[in-house]
Amino acid sequence: MESIAALQNRVTPWSDGLEPSDAELDAIDTEMPVVLAEVELLDALISLLDRPASEFDARRIRRAHNRVWAARRDLANRQGPKEAA
């Protein structure tokens, strides 16, 4: 009978390469304002799941949408135009 422990290295390799690289961490840091703005919008939308929207809620959602759009715009402007291949 073949032991599964002999195949362990192929099934779950050592943790080399499982950590994010510096470039990936930099990309996450660059996109973090967009992520935070989207979380804020999601929080505003979740708050309306169990009650009707008031004028205050509508303003909160509108402002959250504007923050998401501004964060996406800033990210796109920071990355610059993409060249065609």
d(CA 46, CA 36): 15
What does DSSP assign to residue 48? T
pLDDT at 18: 76
What does DSSP assign to residue 82? P
47 near 57, Cβ under 8 Å? yes
What's the residue count for the chain?
85
Name the band, by pLDDT with cuts 50, 70 and 90, for residue 58: very high
30 near 78, Cβ under 8 Å? yes
Task: Give the mean pLDDT of 79-83.
Answer: 67
pLDDT at 13: 56
